[in-house]
Chain A
Amino acid sequence: MLSLTITHQSIDKWKRRFNALPPERLVLVLAVVLSVAATAYSFMHGYITAYGDAESHLNIAKRVIDSLTPGFAQLGGIWLPLPHLLLIPFVASDFLWRSGLAGSIVSGAAYAVSSLFLYKLTHLVTKSRAASFVAAAVFMANPNMLYMQATPMTELTLIVFFIISSYFFIKFLEDDSDILSLVLAAFFGFCAALSRYDGWSLVLMEAGVLGLLYFPWKRFPARIAKLRENFDLQRYKKMEGRMVLFSTLAFFGIALWLLWGYLILGDPLYFTHSIFSAKSQQQNWLVRGELPAYKNLLMAFLYYLVTGMSNVGVFWFLLSLAGFALFFFNRESKHRFYLLLILLVPFIFNVATLYSGQSVIFIPHLTPVNFEWRLFNVRYGIMMVPFAAFCVAYLFYKSRAAGKALVLALFAAQLALFGTGYSKVITLEDGTAGLSSAVAKIPDAQYWIDRNYDSGLVLVDDYARTMSIIRTRIPMKDVIYVGNKPYWEVSLKEPEKYAAWIIMQKNDAVWTSIYEDPVVQGRLFKYFQKVYTSPDILIFKRNPDVTAG
């Protein structure tokens, strides 16, 4: 018999040591270590600004403090402002701006705080340190999360506010006399609503849950005539008070944004239907017949389910489904439906936006092979990681010793699947090779301008992503783009007035306004000389011998 003997004394010693560890500090330290390691890895491999959107976020923040026309108007009216506001202190440093590390700092901090509050949220429900640690571990060890927290993308900013708001809201549900928690839930909901549009559905759902919690009828009245019967005035008063308290703060962000759109851009709903809106972009896919989830609820559901699965990891996802079922049918937990509704907000929101054509996801698991692109926007699925982490932890909490061992074994097995490449780090894949990628399609013209740019203002259509500004030596304050009034508008008619360089890409705004208009084109060739030509991109440099008349 091969045996190993452990005395109860030594077990007790280890137990005491474990219990003496401050778990929240441990989670925070682990999260910071993982965050720094993942960011260093991404930095060394050039992954931080791999996404095209990553640079756009950095540039928006940079322009607020350092551009031809600095100011808060540079925040624009499409992307919500909070992630950019958080970036501002860091993009002041050119190194942090160009390397993307400014974004890594914000997302990394959000990642660490998210890990901590996910631990606290799970502890709130399970009262188990081990299960709460499992939740934090599933969240922290997720390679997609580790990659995204190294980038300036806005997902982590939303996730942190989403988790904190949910935490305080659930805390309030547990004890509805804890008004401070409700106020904090509303405040972080306000932050989430100013981070990404998913946040709007969070505050809506939280308000809806409040309505359900204090539903003033014991039974839903069958007829209008019976409305007065069974009506509980006290509950109604409670609902009214708490709803007003919550909504005033939580929806204030949304109201601010609508007001901003009206004041700056003349249209409160500018973000939904301007040419820069997501919906306008989806129209191109629709015309090509490549919007598979549009008006197809099953496909919208499947697309987001599979995207969520791919972001979470197959085994962890399956475990989370088991945990979800266990939690759903556990009658001991009084507010389980409300809690699940809140954690499932990203799922509901994304299915709805896919269905309505407001967003698009291409994932190779489902996208037909004849589509031009089969990998796009898969990062939306990362919002399912907190939900999955909570459900896995709940499964762990409810399992016996063998079940716990199985959960841990599958946790390790999933890491192995990521390690062997069976499960790809799909957000990184999209950033480096998908349609979301900037690095997959760096034009030769970018290298050329980096080598040859000397000084002077550069007219370029930044929205069309003709080239990357952070990867060239052009200072932000020397760029004329669509947000620089009046430089942009004037330059499209009189290009020689401000610009020393003009970079245009076939069919972008500069090309159509200057190159395709015979009158303006005449001015272009009078004052500029073509210094770079490629099939898609032309670069003009101001002719120093010809002065503007």
Chain B
Amino acid sequence: MKHKYAVFILILLGLFFYSLTLKGILGNPKPGDFKGSLDQVTKPLELSPERGRFANVLALADFHTYDLGQELADAVYPDVGVEEGKFYSLFAPGVSYFILPFYLLGEQFNVSLIGSFGFVSIISIFNLLLLFFISRKVFNLPVWASLVPPMVFGFGCTSWSYAVTLYQHQFTVFFMLSSFYAAWKFKNMRRDGEGIKHFPHKFPRPSALSFAPLRIIFRIFPYICAVWVWLAYGLAITADYPNAVLLLPVVLYFVISSLSVLKEKDKIIFALRPAAVFSVIVLVAVGGWNAYHNQKNYGSWKRLSGELVDYSTVLQQGGLGQSNSQQVINKLGEQKGLQTFFQETNLPFSFYTLTVSPDRGLFVYAPIFLLAALGIFFARKSFSGEMAVLLALVAADVLLYSSWGDPWGGWAFGPRYLIPSMAVLSLFIGVFLAQAKNFAWSRILAFILFAYSSGIALLGAVTTNAVPPKIEASSLHSHYNFLFNWDFLLKNKSGSLLYNTFFANRMDLKEYYLVIYAALLAIILIVLFVLPRSERQQNSVKLKDQNVK
């Protein structure tokens, strides 16, 4: 299969499956629609993360302010903070700003919610493409094996549930993968006239290009890549503050890649590519905007949204009506610092919860990732710096969120904090399949694990993300993991816009689920068993042609 067809097919698959499961309603919701309606289970604003971010977009678009106001604050409760009598969402502001143009566009067509959520799906499709490109270009996998990582990440794990609603995770993955890819491109780009002879080149020398505009593009391309690395890093932080740590491996990789050591007869030259240095201004600009935003809204340039005093705590202390309410808020604010968010003491339990617990465990929800371990093992002999960076991203993600006091991510479907790790690990599943010696058995194993993992992923995508942690579920006398979603499937309760709007009268949810599931399994069967054969045949034909020539 040709590279461009694969890209086209991935876009189609993304559009098809994400459309079928996209959450939302028709119309432009107003603040009054939140409480008791859109905030119910299986409804588009069922949980506070999407509710808080959507409320921010709504306030920005309709009221031209970042302050939520009393009505929206009550709707978004409990993830609301208070500062100077104003209410703010406790989430980082970036996602709301990214969504804003798509909200406004959707509003024009009376589908503001779909416009907002749809943009997340578009970003998710970009993530599928990035995984494909990284597999192809960085790992040099064949086309069929390069299709596996996007399939696993897109439809074989719980990231699916967060590609059809308003969460920060797909943005994080987008910034992580795109900055990594840009840094890799930057590293492998040769620039004429700089005397950096030792940079490996996969690109033609700009001077060798006869077409002038192409020459210019090739000359500025390193700057574009460098700018994107810093910009993606800055934007990722505005989307979710812990990304400052999560994306550090990519930043380090980029900085190290821009360094070169030239050993000459009598001296050693350490050189730094100027594009890497000058482009850092973009990060400074994004940081400056963030500081301005914090100063304007939270009272201090270095105060983050998460550090605001919880509205719920203020209410417990007697509310805002009291004369000393600001003093109470100030005192509570002093107790809530950044250092309280991540603690080493959380490590064992949170690590267990995120990886193997029946509650939220990655390998319980998506055992296909067990193959990633084999992929890493297979890759050990051809282990590259890029693989090390990608594994460092997984390590950073796992360590970071294993230090988090709420590894469940509140009411959520699967280990949502590990979505960036899922993206990276899926790449190693591709490596495993490409390098496995027992070709048939490895693919059969991959198919079985994919069937299980995607079955669960789809279950979450068509029903709800509002799954209680075990500790809460036991007091509610309900199931606590994907069995909770199974109950919803049986009760015909779906969050899918298309199902609820067009198919609910024609088929029950189980049938809808089975149709999508069957399509998905058919596609993975083709990817695993048909494409490798045809690719091999094409390659042998090419080889014959070359021999004949």
Interface residues of A (CB under 8 A from B): 1-9, 11, 302, 306, 309-310, 314, 364-366, 402, 417, 420-424
Contacts and interface: CB of A to CB of B under 8 A. Distances in A.
A418 to B, nearest CB: 10
B269 A3 contact: yes
A402 B269 contact: no
B371 to A, nearest CB: 22
B195 interface: yes
A8 B345 contact: no
B271 A2 contact: yes
Given A420-B339, A422-B339, A422-B403, A5 B348 contact: no
Contacts of B343: 422
Contact of A5 (B196, B268, B277): B268
Interface centre among B273, B277, B348 (most CB of A within 10 A): B348
Contact of A4 (B269, B274, B348): B269
Contacts of B388: 402
Contacts of B385: 402
Nearest to A405: B256
Given A314-B399, A420-B339, A422-B339, A4 B345 contact: no
The 7 closest A-B pairs by CB, nearest first: A3-B271, A2-B272, A4-B270, A364-B345, A7-B267, A423-B344, A421-B339
Given A7-B266, A314-B399, A365-B349, A422 B344 contact: yes
B342 A1 contact: no
B357 to A, nearest CB: 15
Interface of B: 194-196, 266-274, 277, 339, 342-349, 385, 388, 399, 403
A309 B349 CA distance: 14
Nearest to A401: B261
Nearest to A403: B388
B399 A365 contact: no
A314 B344 contact: yes
A422 B342 contact: yes
A6 B262 CA distance: 10
Given A3-B270, A314-B347, 16 more contacts: A1-B196, A1-B274, A2-B277, A3-B269, A3-B271, A4-B269, A4-B270, A4-B271, A7-B268, A306-B348, A310-B344, A364-B345, A365-B349, A422-B343, A424-B344, A424-B345
Given A306-B348, A365-B347, A424-B344, A1 B272 contact: yes
Contacts, number: 65
A500 to B, nearest CB: 48
Contacts of A423: 344
A204 B403 CA distance: 39
Nearest to A309: B347
B344 A1 contact: no
Contacts of A422: 339, 342-344, 403
Nearest to A423: B344
A306 B196 CA distance: 48
Contacts of A302: 348
Contacts of B346: 365
B398 to A, nearest CB: 11
A9 B268 CA distance: 10
A365 B272 contact: no
Contact of A6 (B196, B270, B342): B270
Most buried by B among A1, A365, A422: A1
B344 A8 contact: no
B268 A11 contact: yes
Given A3-B270, A6-B267, A365 B339 contact: no
A309 B347 CA distance: 11
Nearest to A364: B345
Contacts of B342: 422
Contacts of A2: 271-274, 277
A421 to B, nearest CB: 5
Nearest to B402: A314
Contacts of A11: 268
26 contacts: A1-B274, A2-B271, A3-B272, A4-B269, A4-B270, A5-B268, A5-B270, A6-B267, A6-B268, A7-B267, A7-B268, A8-B266, A306-B347, A309-B347, A365-B344, A365-B345, A365-B346, A365-B347, A365-B348, A402-B388, A417-B344, A421-B339, A422-B339, A422-B403, A423-B344, A424-B345
A498 B6 CA distance: 96
A370 B303 CA distance: 34
A365 B403 CA distance: 10
Contacts of A8: 266-268
Contact of B269 (A5, A9, A417, A424): A5
Residue from B195, B267, B385 with most neighbouring chain A CB atoms (10 Å)? B267
Contacts of B344: 310, 314, 365, 417, 422-424
Nearest to B265: A8
Contacts of B269: 3-6
A405 to B, nearest CB: 9
A366 B339 contact: no
A303 B345 CA distance: 13
A423 B339 CA distance: 10
Contacts of B194: 1
A306 B347 CA distance: 9
Contacts of A306: 347-348
A364 B342 CA distance: 14
B37 to A, nearest CB: 37
A42 to B, nearest CB: 22
B428 to A, nearest CB: 18
Contact of B267 (A5, A309, A314): A5
A1 B222 CA distance: 13
A150 B348 CA distance: 30
A373 to B, nearest CB: 14
Contacts of A3: 269-272
A424 B277 CA distance: 36
Contacts of A402: 385, 388
Contacts of B267: 5-8
Contacts of A309: 347
